[in-house]
Chains A and B, each alone.
Chain A
Amino acid sequence: MHVAHLALADFRSYDSVELAFEPGVTTFVGDNGQGKTNLVESLGYLTAHGSHRVATDAPLVRHGAARAIIRAAVVRGDRRALVELEINPGRANRARLNRSPVPRPRDVVGLLRTVLFAPEDLALVKGDPGERRRFLDDLLVTRAPRFAGVRADYERVLKQRNALLRSAAQLGRGRGGPPATLDVWDAHLSRCGAELLAARLELVAALRPLVAKAYAALAPSSGSADFDYRGSIEETSPDRAMLEAALLAGLENARRNELERGITLVGPHRDELALRLGELPARGYASHGESWSFALALRLAAYDLLRIDGGDPVLILDDVFAELDAERRAHLAELVGPAEQVLITAAVPADVPGSLAGARFDVGDGRVNRVR
């Protein structure tokens, strides 16, 4: 698929901008702080309904404006869809498809699929387990939009259950036993948790060979890249009924501890995707260059997987070439070259390998101009 048209209103530094794109490579060039990332961030937001840079939506709305609008024409084969999101920080977003409002923003998830590479990706390897869980869950949602609901449900159950445990912990343990409704929340947490967990386990199995392959292509002389999913329960077969039973049993075992601490200690929100290079854990052991290769390999594997699912996603490379040495640059260029559409941002055009020549836009002074 490719983005044929992008219009932003009051998004980040842009009060209003409209751009037309073609398939193939497009590069945005400009000094730092000119608004290159802001452009591609908008497409990432259309994909994930969240930014790769910030956890809340307020910074996405231009300073002084009340709401931001992202509108993109997405072409897939011979079909063209106009997807629009209105970002209302603190309130529900609104979405339109081909100019008609849809009931929920969720209904337009999946129409645009992008895989975004950014300097922040280093945190996939070096950061907290939460970064890797988010990588998995974002990819689940991109592959099958219904997981946006599964994920939201799980987060809501978790919040409710934690609120109950917190108030029980404050009341003091031992007094009157666990609250009467805890069993009910255990059941709901296990059911939602099993659905999320089963999907993650399947995803991990599908990603594994793709990551190994991508890493080997990026860093042929380094060890092999692999990972394990470390759950808070032992069960690892992606069978929902078995996982649900295991989660329920896990919660029962942890109950006393949970009542003391006032938080949920079992469930997919506690899990870790443990990355390995050869025999060693990547986190804490991998060099800077190896960490970069691993992070890129995870993104490339996500891209491969989405492509296997059908429909070539749009690749976005935000400022990544500047982070890589010449050899990794060349390998990456080779791997992304054949994609239907690649959007690249760079402060120094010479950082982008010559094989990725294509259309170019200059970004500066709040404007984006096509260079002919």
Chain B
Amino acid sequence: MYEGVVQSLIDELGLLPGVGPKSAQRIAFHILSADPADVRRLAQVLTEIKDKVHFCRICGNVAAEEECRICRDARRDPQVICVVEESKDVVAIEKTREFRGRYHVLGGAISPIEGVGPDDLRIKELMKRLADGEVTEVILATDPNLEGEATATYLARLLKPMGLKVTRLASGLPVGGDLEYADEVTLGRAFEGRRLLDV
């Protein structure tokens, strides 16, 4: 244990994903010995990110304003919604330039081990968006791993009775991984070849 604020810093850093106690300690001492101007800049963006960045009111994507750039873009097809787990998946899919519809970011996937159930995801918000009947197709682009598949199955069973076309990205994505690990070409092709989901 270190004294006071040094230990607090190590503890806080240790809460970050992928940072173990050893790395937390290393980063803390790096910050201690770094140029004060650099550290102040880091502290400033950390504050700003919480004050200035929001989650889009409509789709849940990160946004600089109330609504994200994609939801505000009138040229995007309002009839198709692509459901993803995280904002980073939106970035990955946008890179393929295959998709011209809108997104819905769930904020994760169903995983009882981690205590995440449907109520912890933005599913109610999705249902609200679908209520007015403008959307005709929902593409389920959750990760190609077990939790992503389970989430897709759950959503498909919920959406099918509403008479929507429910599709899933074609296989060929690296199984067991994250959507973001797929290269642009593969992900683009998976979009092209999306298939109807029968549940």
Residues of A participating in the B interface, judged by any CB pair closer than 8 Å: 149, 153, 156-157, 159-161, 163-164, 167, 179-181, 183-185, 187-188
Contacts and interface: CB of A to CB of B under 8 A. Distances in A.
Given A153-B146, A180-B118, A188-B149, A160 B154 contact: no
Contacts of B150: 160, 181, 184-185, 188
Nearest to A162: B112
A163 B153 contact: no
Residue of A159, A181, A185, A188 with most chain B CB atoms under a 10 A cut-off = A181
A167 B113 CA distance: 10
A185 B147 CA distance: 10
B157 interface: yes
Interface in B131-183: 146-147, 149-150, 153-154, 157, 175-176
Contacts of B118: 180-181
Contacts of A156: 146
A314 B116 CA distance: 46
B64 to A, nearest CB: 34
B115 interface: yes
Contacts of B147: 160
A179 B111 contact: no
Contacts, number: 42
A184 B146 CA distance: 11
- Name A's interface SS: helix
Contacts of A187: 153, 199
B23 to A, nearest CB: 13
Interface in B86-135: 110-113, 115, 117-118
Interface size class of B (residues with CB under 8 A): 10 to 19
B115 A184 contact: no
A188 B152 CA distance: 12
B178 to A, nearest CB: 14
B122 to A, nearest CB: 16
B157 A183 contact: yes
Contacts of B115: 167
Contacts of A181: 110, 112, 117-118, 150, 154
A68 B66 CA distance: 52
A125 B199 CA distance: 42
A185 B146 CA distance: 10
Contacts of B175: 149
A187 B154 CA distance: 10
Contact of A159 (B110, B113, B149): B113
Nearest to A164: B112
Contacts of A183: 157
A184 B157 contact: yes
Nearest to B154: A184
Question: Nearest 5 CB-CB pairs, A to B?
Answer: A163-B112, A164-B112, A163-B113, A184-B154, A184-B153
A10 B81 CA distance: 53
Given A160-B150, A167-B112, A184-B154, 15 more contacts: A153-B146, A156-B146, A157-B146, A160-B146, A161-B112, A163-B112, A163-B113, A164-B112, A181-B110, A181-B117, A183-B157, A184-B110, A184-B153, A188-B146, A188-B149
